[in-house]
Amino acid sequence: MSPQPFDEMRNADGSVRAHYRAFADWLDQTTPDRIAQKRGEAERAFYRVGITFAVYGEDAGTERLIPFDLVPRIIPADEWRTLEAGLKQRVRTLNLFLHDIYHDQAILKAGVVPTERVLGNAQYRREMAGMSVPGGIYAHIAGVDVVRAGAGEYYVLEDNLRVPSGVSYMLENRKMMMRLFPELFANRLIRPVQHYPDLLLENLRAVAPAGEERPTVAVLTPGAYNSAYFEHAFLAQQMGVELVEGIDLFVQNDTVFMRTTRGPQRVHVIYRRVDDDYLDPLAFRKDSMLGVPGLFSAYRAGRVTLANAIGTGVADDKSIYPYVPDMVRFYLAEEPILNNVPTFMLYRPQEREHVLANLSDLVVKEVHGAGGYGMLIGPTASKAEIEAFRARIAAAPEKYIAQPTLALSTCPTFVDAGVAPRHIDLRPYVLSGTDVDLVPGGLTRVALREGSLVVNSSQGGGTKDTWVLAE
Amino acid sequence: MLCRTANELYWMARHIERAENTARILDVTYRTSLLPYEVREPGMAWAEPWSVPLITSGQAKAYYQRYPELSADNVLKYMILDASNPSSIFCCLRAARESARSVRGAITSEMYEDLNSAWFEMRGYDYSRIDGTGVSDFLDWVKMRSHLFRGVTFGTMLRDEAYHFIRLGTHIERADNTARILDTKYHILLPSADDVGGAVDYYQWQSLLTSVSGFESYRKIYSDVITPHRVAELLVLRDDMPRSLHSCMNFIFETLELLCDEHSRELSRQAGELHARLHYARTDEMIEFGLHEYLIDFLERVSALGDEVSRVFLVPTD
């Protein structure tokens, strides 16, 4: 892996890459004034539409915009073809893996994945063992984080199989770009993504309990104070289904009902945006005010489908991640299309020794961490930070993995001083139900601070529209 | 529709309407305070024009806990910006926006965006800005935002249950507020006996009518001097006057006929009864009974109707 980041727009000699040429010409011809005016317009529109997220730990009700950058991330058709095939292959595999570990455990018996990594994992839900879910699908919605390193090769950084968020930004960013710069879309070369809610609804309906002709789907949210509330409401509205909170639902005879102005109405499929632990105070955390008492019992009885299924966290755990390429080979007898980032498992003494000796070159992550918290980025960390991590690793090595520092690709981005390269990643959303499918694109996140590799919105990241070009 | 959703929509509509009516009451007070007047019991603070917004909104006690003195500035601050006053325009717009936010899937995006931008504009106001550009300017802005929201609702929303609950909330709140505004004349606006029919009386009735957008209609219908008898007829009994009690009850009755089923017969009966009282009433009878007494009785009945709506649809106990 080269330390020089890959520039999405320009070749090493500074010339513009073929798939960015039309955009670069447009950018040259557009005055800075118009750009500035459009940036202001975008910001006001995002506020008005309410695409804000709540920030935890600040004043209650603090709402912020995720900064939106006007320079799109463009993916040429041939690259997308590979990405798409690789993502489908990966999500298909992860669903097979989840079904397997909650049933026959063939992959553990074959020794491809160590048994204790799976069964000893806090995210493995014993309650799910032996239980069948419609279509054998566990991760109906997967948000797979993909990055591009020095030579332009793609890597999967993370598989998010619990309640991945951000798809509403993908949709709103596109809407915003079309509103601000309709001329860019006039040549019809940019593939549309706006059918995502239809595709999602179709997939959710496909996994309803058997025998339901017209299943009722609902989106379950923790409520208006959740940081991703905008997205929950947005998706429910776009699909034309009810947005429910725990208090709107009740369970009778293993059947889930919503309280409506016309009396109880049965719910067949719940797209839940509430974590496993909070779903049902009778089955999981007793102090949960967000869940529905009896929901798990109804789920076990096959009377309601939860998307995603309970217990998917074991498959996107960072301690399981290194085994995904072997899973592809095991279940599909295919070679993995997408690369995994080489990963050191710190519970293995040899790898740990190597990592501890090279902390300043590596990225160390907590196995259960998310959102860019609990990470050490060696090359930019201070000595004190490195030493603090060394102590934490020594105390509980099984809680950490380490990876080489990837020089994430950069994309031109509007910053105070003009346009400058900033690091980006990509999260496409892969849907499973009828089949495995995804819309061409995803959410591109950008680290707005110069040199920063952390794209998370909670850590000062922004977003961009993502264009997949037609063939 | 979810009970919680219906509840939020109903209160969203009530809060928007309440913001508008608070603006209307402040507007009539402001206009009245510019006119010469004599109070019924001179020296009594509650008889001053600026006590009217406090009395009609039931906030007099809470006000005096925060402000020792009655003054135009203080009442305006309290009724427009005070976060501790649930009837303040600030609180009404905040509550409406919060409701909309928690059920934004049930309304159109245009409605949400309209309400959201109104809220962000509201947050940009402080008292010096309102005072600087003129109180009437600000109150007009509030009324325009309410008109705009109603227009967006009317023009974009599917005529489904959600729409009906919004309409129900709007008209229950409006009926309540028109009755309260009309009753202000009882509290304060009585001029001295010599002035009945005189210039002061005329301007006071005019400003009251204007505050409910009724002055021009009055002229059109009666083309004559303003008399209390006719004002009462216009604002209580005429069903072609959009803010009158009769007109509000028409909407409420119609809407409940659409919403009620065999489980909610009592609610539908109660609405029908109140509607019939207005539909078949005579102005003379009402004046004879005493307009103030009549309005107090009406307010109690509307409030009971609101409670029943809540019990049946919005917060059912199962």
Give domain status of residue A279, yes or no. no
The dihedral through the CA atoms of B112, B113, B114, B119 has a sign that is positive
Please indicate, yes or no, whether residues A27 and A43 belong to a single structural domain of this protein: yes
Q: B148 to chain A: which residues are within 8 Å by CB? A: none
Residues of chain B with Cβ-Cβ distance to A261 below 8 Å are 1-3, 6, 161, 165, 259, 313
Query: Which residues of chain A neighbour B156 with C-beta distances below 8 Å?
Result: none
Question: Which chain A residues touch B116 with a CB distance below 8 Å?
Answer: 47-50
A247 interaction partners in chain B (CB closer than 8 Å): 4
Q: Domain for residue A185, yes or no?
A: yes
**Are A412 and A420 spatial neighbours (Cβ–Cβ below 8 Å)?**
yes
Q: How confident is the model at residue B187 (pLDDT cuts 50, 70, 90)?
A: low
In a domain, A23, yes or no: yes
Closest among B171, B189, B169 to B292, alpha carbons compared:
B189
Query: Which residue bears the tokens 């489980």?
Result: B263
Per the DSSP assignment, residues forming a β-bridge with B188 are none
Radius of gyration of chain A (CA): 22
* Among A91, A123, A89, A95, residue whose Cα is nearest residue A107: A95
The reported pLDDT for the residue numbered A372 is: 60
Q: How far is CA A417 from CA A5, A298, A414, B47, in A?
A: 21, 57, 8, 62
Per-position pLDDT tens, chain A of length 471? 446 899 999 999 999 999 999 999 999 999 989 988 998 998 888 887 777 665 555 444 566 778 899 999 999 999 999 999 999 999 999 999 999 999 999 999 999 999 999 999 989 999 999 999 999 999 999 999 999 988 889 999 999 999 999 999 999 999 999 999 999 998 879 999 999 999 999 999 999 998 888 999 999 999 988 888 889 999 998 999 999 999 999 999 999 999 999 889 999 999 999 999 999 999 998 888 889 999 999 999 999 999 999 999 999 998 999 999 999 999 999 999 999 999 999 989 999 999 999 999 999 998 876 656 678 888 888 999 999 989 999 898 988 999 998 889 999 999 888 899 999 999 999 999 989 999 999 999 999 988 888 887 777 789 999 999 998
For the stretch A268-316, pLDDT in tens is 999 999 999 999 999 998 888 889 999 999 999 999 999 999 999 999 9
Q: Which of B78-82, B189-193, B220-224 has the highest mean pLDDT?
A: B78-82
**B103 Cβ under 8 Å from any chain A Cβ:** yes
Question: For residue B133, what are the contacts with CB-CB under 8 A and spacing of at least 6?
Answer: none
Task: Please state the domain count of chain A.
Answer: 2
Q: Are residues A108 and A186 in the same domain?
A: yes
State whether A40 and A128 are in the same domain: yes
CA distance B5 to chain A (A): 9
Residue A280 within any structural domain of the chain: no
Q: Is the peptide bond before A11 cis (omega within 30 degrees of 0)?
A: no
Tell me what pLDDT residue B45 has. 46
Contact B6 A258 (CB under 8 A): no
Residues A377 and A416 grouped into a single domain? no
| Contact yes or no for B165/B10 (Cβ under 8 A) | yes
Instruction: Please state, in angstroms and rounded to a whole number, the distance separating the CA atoms of residues A358 and A355.
Output: 5
Residues A400 and A413 in one domain: no
Domain boundary among A404, A421, A451: A404
Q: Which residues of B are less than 8 Å from A223 in CB distance?
A: 102
> Which CATH number characterizes residue A348's domain?
3.30.1490.270
Give the integer Cα–Cα distance in Å for A445 and A460: 10
- Between A206 and B29, the higher pLDDT residue: A206
Q: Looking at B42-46, B211-215, B307-311, which range is the least confident one?
A: B42-46
Among the candidates A357, A380, A404, a domain finishes at A404
Q: How far apart are CA A114 and CA A121, in angstroms?
A: 11
In chain A, residues with a C-beta closer than 8 Å to the C-beta of B259 are 261
Instruction: Write the residue in A49, A229, A260 that is nearest to B1 by C-beta.
Output: A260
Structural domain includes residue A425 = yes
pLDDT value of position B89 = 97
Q: Does B162 touch chain A (CB under 8 A)?
A: no
Residues A362 and A461 placed together within one structural domain of the fold? no
DSSP β-bridge partners for residue B234: none
- Within this chain, do residues A133 and A189 fall inside the same structural domain, yes or no? yes
Of B2, B113, B120, nearest to A259 by CB-CB distance is B2
- Cβ distance B4 to A245 less than 8 Å, yes or no, reads yes
Interface of A with B (CB under 8 A): 47-50, 223-224, 229, 233-234, 236-237, 242-245, 247-248, 258-263
Q: Are residues A367 and A418 in the same domain?
A: no
Given CA atoms B219, B223, B225, B226 in this order, what sign does their dihedral have? negative
Q: Is the pLDDT of residue B273 over 90?
A: yes
Confidence category of residue B186, pLDDT binned at 50, 70, 90: low
How high is the pLDDT of residue A170? 96
Please give the residue of chain B at the shortest CA–CA distance from A260: B2
For the stretch A356-387, pLDDT in tens is 999 999 999 988 766 566 788 888 889 999 99
For residue B163, the distance in angstroms to the closest alpha carbon of chain A comes to 13
Contacts of B158 in chain A (CB under 8 A): none
Pairing mode of beta strands A255-260, A263-266: antiparallel
Candidates A41, A44, A46, A48, partner chain B, best to mutate (most B CBs within 10 A): A48
In chain A, what residues touch B318 (CB-CB under 8 Å)?
259
Partner-chain contact B113 A49, CB within 8 Å: yes
Quick check: A233 and A275 in contact, CB under 8 A? Answer: no
Residues of chain B with Cβ-Cβ distance to A244 below 8 Å are 2
Instruction: Kindly report the pTM of this predicted structure.
Output: 0.82
Q: How far apart are CA A309 and CA B195, in angstroms?
A: 78
Is the pLDDT reported for residue B46 higher than 50? no
The two structure tokens encoding residue A118 = 């799976």
Beta-carbon separation of B3 and A242 below 8 A: no
A281 in a domain, yes or no?
Answer: no
How many CB atoms are located within 10 Å of the residue A277 CB?
Answer: 15
A22 close to A186: Cβ distance less than 8 angstroms:
no
Q: Say yes or no for a CB contact (<8 Å) between B104 and A259.
A: no
| Residues A464 and A322 occupy one common structural domain | yes
What's the per-residue H, E or C state across chain A?
Answer: CCCCCCECCECCCCCECHHHHHHHHHHHHCCHHHHHHHHHHHHHHHHHHCCEEECCCCCCCCEEECCEEEEEEEECHHHHHHHHHHHHHHHHHHHHHHHHHCCCCHHHHCCCCCHHHHHCCCCCCHHHCCCCCHHHCCCCEEEEEEEECCCCCEEEEEEECCCCCCHHHHHHHHHHHHHHCHHHHCCCCECCCCCHHHHHHHHHHHCCCCCCCCCCEEEECCCCCCCCHHHHHHHHHHHCCEEECHHHEEEECCEEEEEECCEEEECCEEEECCCHHHCCCCCCCCCCCCCCCCHHHHHHCCCCEEECCCCCHHHHCCCCHHHHHHHHHHHHCCCCCCEECCCEECCCHHHHHHHHHCHHHEEEEECCCCCCCCEEEHHHCCHHHHHHHHHHHHHCHHHEEEEECCCCCEEEEEECCEEEEEEEEEECEEEECCCEEECCCCEEEEECCCCCCCCCHHHCEEEEEEEEECC
Task: Establish if A254 belongs to a structural domain.
Answer: no
> Helices B245-259 & B291-309, crossing angle to 10 degrees?
20
Q: Do A259 and B113 lie within an 8 Å CB cutoff?
A: no
Residues A189 and A126 in one domain: yes
Look at residue B191 and tell me whether its pLDDT is greater than 60: no
- pLDDT recorded at residue A287: 87
| Domain, as residue range, for A450 | 18-209+304-339+406-468
Domain limit, last residue, from A404, A423, A457 = A404
Dig out the tokens for A430 from the structure. Answer: 């892969």
Assess whether A430 and A361 both reside in one domain: no
CA gap A404, A361 in Å, rounded? 7
Confidence check: pLDDT of B38 > 60: no
Distance CA B110, CA A235 (A): 16
3-state secondary structure of B2: strand
Q: What is the mean pLDDT of residues B128-138?
A: 91
Interchain CB contacts (distance < 8 Å): A and B: 61
Q: Clarify whether residues A387 and A375 are in a common domain.
A: yes
Give the integer Cα–Cα distance in Å for A27 and A38: 13
Task: Return the SS3 of B260.
Answer: coil
Q: Would you call B100 exposed, middle or buried from its count of C-beta atoms within 10 A (0-12, 13-18, 19+)?
A: buried
**Could you tell me if residue A139 is inside a domain?**
yes
Cβ distance of B116 and A248 shorter than 8 Å: no
Say if the Cβ atoms of A248 and B3 lie within 8 Å. yes
A15/A11 Cα distance (integer angstroms):
5
Nearest Cα neighbor of B3 from A271, A289, A233, A244 is A244
